[in-house]
Structure 1
Amino acid sequence: MMHADLIDQEDLLGLLLSLGFQVPNGSTAEQACECAVRGLNNERAMILRTMVKQMYTSSATILPAVRQAIDKQLLPALAEYQQKA
Protein backbone atom coordinates (compact mmCIF):
# COMPACT_ATOMS: atom_id res chain seq x y z
CA MET A 1 0.00 0.00 0.00
CA MET A 2 1.29 3.50 -0.85
CA HIS A 3 0.67 6.55 1.23
CA ALA A 4 1.67 10.09 0.51
CA ASP A 5 3.94 12.12 2.73
CA LEU A 6 1.85 14.60 4.65
CA ILE A 7 2.88 17.75 6.46
CA ASP A 8 0.50 18.26 9.32
CA GLN A 9 0.38 20.62 12.27
CA GLU A 10 2.70 18.44 14.37
CA ASP A 11 5.25 18.31 11.54
CA LEU A 12 5.18 22.10 11.25
CA LEU A 13 5.68 22.56 15.00
CA GLY A 14 8.52 20.04 15.03
CA LEU A 15 10.19 21.70 12.07
CA LEU A 16 9.96 25.17 13.61
CA LEU A 17 11.35 23.85 16.91
CA SER A 18 14.20 22.08 15.14
CA LEU A 19 15.07 25.35 13.40
CA GLY A 20 15.36 27.13 16.75
CA PHE A 21 12.01 28.90 16.92
CA GLN A 22 10.24 28.94 20.26
CA VAL A 23 6.76 27.52 19.80
CA PRO A 24 4.63 26.43 22.77
CA ASN A 25 3.61 22.78 22.87
CA GLY A 26 0.06 22.27 21.70
CA SER A 27 0.07 25.32 19.43
CA THR A 28 -2.11 25.31 16.37
CA ALA A 29 -0.42 25.79 13.01
CA GLU A 30 -1.56 29.41 12.99
CA GLN A 31 -0.25 30.07 16.50
CA ALA A 32 3.06 28.41 15.63
CA CYS A 33 3.46 30.61 12.55
CA GLU A 34 2.56 33.67 14.63
CA CYS A 35 5.33 32.80 17.10
CA ALA A 36 7.83 32.19 14.30
CA VAL A 37 7.41 35.67 12.82
CA ARG A 38 7.75 37.57 16.09
CA GLY A 39 10.98 39.54 16.17
CA LEU A 40 11.96 38.78 12.60
CA ASN A 41 15.53 39.59 11.68
CA ASN A 42 17.58 38.75 8.60
CA GLU A 43 18.62 35.32 9.85
CA ARG A 44 15.15 34.26 10.99
CA ALA A 45 13.57 35.54 7.79
CA MET A 46 16.03 33.58 5.68
CA ILE A 47 15.42 30.40 7.68
CA LEU A 48 11.65 30.76 7.32
CA ARG A 49 11.86 31.52 3.58
CA THR A 50 14.00 28.42 3.07
CA MET A 51 11.63 26.28 5.13
CA VAL A 52 8.57 27.43 3.20
CA LYS A 53 10.31 26.97 -0.15
CA GLN A 54 11.34 23.43 0.79
CA MET A 55 7.84 22.59 1.97
CA TYR A 56 6.14 24.02 -1.12
CA THR A 57 8.56 22.38 -3.58
CA SER A 58 8.62 18.95 -1.91
CA SER A 59 6.43 16.09 -3.01
CA ALA A 60 4.72 16.06 0.40
CA THR A 61 1.12 17.12 0.74
CA ILE A 62 0.67 20.09 3.03
CA LEU A 63 -2.57 19.74 4.93
CA PRO A 64 -5.00 22.66 4.47
CA ALA A 65 -4.69 24.05 8.02
CA VAL A 66 -0.90 24.22 7.69
CA ARG A 67 -1.00 25.78 4.23
CA GLN A 68 -3.55 28.34 5.41
CA ALA A 69 -1.40 29.26 8.42
CA ILE A 70 1.65 29.72 6.21
CA ASP A 71 -0.34 31.76 3.70
CA LYS A 72 -1.99 33.94 6.38
CA GLN A 73 0.90 34.36 8.83
CA LEU A 74 4.33 33.54 7.44
CA LEU A 75 4.19 34.77 3.87
CA PRO A 76 2.68 38.20 4.62
CA ALA A 77 5.09 38.76 7.53
CA LEU A 78 8.08 37.79 5.36
CA ALA A 79 6.91 40.07 2.54
CA GLU A 80 6.43 42.97 4.96
CA TYR A 81 9.85 42.36 6.51
CA GLN A 82 11.52 42.29 3.11
CA GLN A 83 9.93 45.63 2.16
CA LYS A 84 11.23 47.24 5.34
CA ALA A 85 14.76 45.82 4.94
Structure 2
Amino acid sequence: MMHADLIDQDDFRDRLVALGLAVPAGVSADQACEYAVAGLNPDRTQALRGLVQELLGGSATLLPTVREAICRKLLPALVK
Protein backbone atom coordinates (compact mmCIF):
# COMPACT_ATOMS: atom_id res chain seq x y z
CA MET A 1 0.00 0.00 0.00
CA MET A 2 1.28 3.42 -0.92
CA HIS A 3 0.93 6.27 1.54
CA ALA A 4 1.23 9.85 0.37
CA ASP A 5 1.51 12.90 2.57
CA LEU A 6 -1.50 15.11 2.05
CA ILE A 7 -1.56 18.65 3.39
CA ASP A 8 -5.08 19.93 4.03
CA GLN A 9 -6.09 23.24 5.59
CA ASP A 10 -5.84 21.83 9.14
CA ASP A 11 -2.31 20.52 8.53
CA PHE A 12 -1.37 23.85 6.97
CA ARG A 13 -2.78 25.77 9.95
CA ASP A 14 -0.88 23.49 12.36
CA ARG A 15 2.37 24.25 10.55
CA LEU A 16 1.71 27.99 10.74
CA VAL A 17 0.97 27.73 14.47
CA ALA A 18 4.21 25.76 14.93
CA LEU A 19 6.02 28.82 13.55
CA GLY A 20 4.48 30.96 16.29
CA LEU A 21 1.75 32.52 14.17
CA ALA A 22 -1.66 33.04 15.77
CA VAL A 23 -4.09 31.24 13.49
CA PRO A 24 -7.41 30.14 15.02
CA ALA A 25 -8.77 26.65 14.51
CA GLY A 26 -11.36 26.04 11.83
CA VAL A 27 -10.30 28.76 9.41
CA SER A 28 -9.97 28.26 5.68
CA ALA A 29 -6.58 28.14 3.98
CA ASP A 30 -7.17 31.70 2.68
CA GLN A 31 -7.97 32.94 6.17
CA ALA A 32 -4.96 31.12 7.63
CA CYS A 33 -2.74 32.95 5.14
CA GLU A 34 -4.32 36.28 6.09
CA TYR A 35 -3.63 35.63 9.78
CA ALA A 36 -0.09 34.56 8.95
CA VAL A 37 0.63 37.71 6.95
CA ALA A 38 -0.84 39.90 9.71
CA GLY A 39 1.49 38.30 12.27
CA LEU A 40 4.73 38.60 10.33
CA ASN A 41 7.94 39.99 11.77
CA PRO A 42 11.46 39.50 10.37
CA ASP A 43 12.07 36.18 12.13
CA ARG A 44 8.68 34.76 11.26
CA THR A 45 9.05 35.94 7.67
CA GLN A 46 12.22 33.86 7.31
CA ALA A 47 10.56 30.84 8.91
CA LEU A 48 7.48 31.24 6.73
CA ARG A 49 9.62 31.44 3.59
CA GLY A 50 11.22 28.16 4.58
CA LEU A 51 7.84 26.55 5.19
CA VAL A 52 6.47 27.74 1.84
CA GLN A 53 9.58 26.45 0.06
CA GLU A 54 9.22 23.09 1.83
CA LEU A 55 5.52 22.80 1.00
CA LEU A 56 5.76 23.87 -2.63
CA GLY A 57 8.98 21.99 -3.36
CA GLY A 58 8.48 18.89 -1.24
CA SER A 59 6.95 15.54 -2.00
CA ALA A 60 3.75 16.13 -0.01
CA THR A 61 0.55 16.74 -1.93
CA LEU A 62 -1.12 20.04 -1.17
CA LEU A 63 -4.87 20.26 -1.52
CA PRO A 64 -5.66 22.73 -4.32
CA THR A 65 -7.21 25.22 -1.88
CA VAL A 66 -4.03 25.26 0.20
CA ARG A 67 -1.76 25.63 -2.84
CA GLU A 68 -3.92 28.45 -4.24
CA ALA A 69 -4.01 30.28 -0.91
CA ILE A 70 -0.22 30.09 -0.60
CA CYS A 71 0.27 31.37 -4.14
CA ARG A 72 -2.29 34.17 -3.86
CA LYS A 73 -1.78 35.35 -0.29
CA LEU A 74 1.60 34.29 1.07
CA LEU A 75 3.95 34.54 -1.88
CA PRO A 76 3.13 38.20 -2.62
CA ALA A 77 3.60 39.08 1.06
CA LEU A 78 6.94 37.27 1.25
CA VAL A 79 8.53 39.03 -1.72
CA LYS A 80 8.09 42.50 -0.22
TM bucket (normalised to shorter chain) is over 0.9
Distance 2:5 2:79 in 1: 28
- TM-score under structure 2 length normalisation: 0.92
Unaligned residue ranges in structure 1 (runs of 5+): 81-85
CA RMSD of superposed structures (Å): 1.1
Is 1:24 the equivalent of 2:17?
no
Number of residue pairs matched? 80
In the alignment, which residue of structure 2 is the partner of 1:62? Answer: 62
Unaligned residue ranges in structure 2 (runs of 5+): none
Distance 1:5 1:41 in 2: 29
| Ranges of 4+ aligned residues in structure 1 off by more than 6 Å | none
Output the amino acid matched with 2:70. I
Output the amino acid matched with 1:79. V
**Percentage of identical aligned residues:** 55
- TM-score under structure 1 length normalisation: 0.87
User: Is the radius of gyration larger for structure 1 or structure 2?
Assistant: 1
Distance 1:15 1:41 in 2: 17
